[in-house]
């Protein structure tokens, strides 16, 4: 009888441990996002500071980049503090952050914006070239640069983890202006 009680107690204890492990919150996620704070696209890692509460503050870090044979390249590093509001699997997401980015455009697509005719040489001298700038919705002063980002959206995270998705409005700003109608769509995995 004692052995049967001991075995039954062990099974109940092991079952309760198993149940506790299966109710672990998926406080981390990895996802790819088209648009959003990474600018054209980004690969991201997001986590909650409080592992026991999904509707809490978190941090997201991502990376994006490309290079073309014509000499054009781009790299971005979005970092954002965010907060989830709601109950699983539906959350309203709000956040703010910065996106560091660098670019290089070595194409030959220059054109003359302003200049004068030099009578001594008989040639037109260009004083201001255009066409080789990088602008992502807003004018950018040069490379490297920073873009401020905000995030207002919906995130669906299954209660037990798994496939997650998100859609958001991501206003962007820098010293040259503010663009409120930029958006992003993300797909990934929560664990």
pLDDT tens string 23-65 = 689 999 999 999 999 989 999 999 999 999 999 999 999 999 9
Record the pTM: 0.74
Please check whether residue 167 is in contact with residue 185, taking contact to mean a CB–CB distance below 8 angstroms: yes
Mind listing the pLDDT tens digit for each residue in 114-142? 667 777 877 776 665 455 455 667 888 88
Helix, strand or coil for residue 41? strand
What radius of gyration do the chain's Cα atoms show?
Answer: 25
Percent of the chain clearing pLDDT 90 (strictly above): 59
Higher pLDDT among residues 120 and 164, named by residue: 164
Q: List Cβ neighbours of 166 (8 Å cut-off, separation of 6 or more).
A: 31, 33, 93, 153, 154, 155, 156, 184, 185, 186
Higher pLDDT among residues 174 and 11, named by residue: 174
Mind listing the pLDDT tens digit for each residue in 60-113? 999 999 988 777 889 999 999 999 999 989 999 999 999 999 988 755 555 555
CATH class of 25-190: mainly beta
Grade residue 14 by pLDDT with cuts at 50, 70 and 90. Answer: low
Beta bridge partners of 39: none
Residue ranges per structural domain of the chain: 25-190
């Amino acid at each position: 009888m004692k052995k049967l009680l001991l075995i039954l107690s062990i099974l109940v204890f092991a079952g309760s441990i198993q149940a506790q492990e299966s109710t672990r919150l998926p406080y981390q996620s990895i996802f790819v996002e088209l648009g959003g704070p990474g600018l054209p696209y980004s690969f991201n890692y997001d986590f909650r500071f409080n592992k026991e509460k999904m509707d809490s503050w978190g941090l997201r870090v991502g990376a994006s980049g490309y290079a073309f044979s014509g000499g054009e390249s781009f790299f971005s590093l979005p970092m954002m503090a965010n907060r989830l509001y709601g109950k699983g699997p539906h959350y309203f997401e709000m956040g703010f952050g910065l996106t560091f980015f660098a670019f290089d455009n070595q194409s030959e697509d220059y054109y003359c914006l302003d200049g004068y005719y030099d009578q001594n040489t008989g040639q037109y001298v260009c004083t201001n070239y255009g066409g080789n700038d990088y602008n992502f919705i807003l004018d950018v002063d040069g490379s490297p640069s920073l873009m401020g980002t905000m995030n207002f959206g919906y995130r669906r995270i299954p209660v037990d983890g798994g496939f997650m998705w998100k859609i958001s409005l991501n206003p962007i700003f820098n010293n040259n202006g503010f663009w409120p109608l930029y958006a992003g769509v993300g797909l990934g995995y929560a664990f």
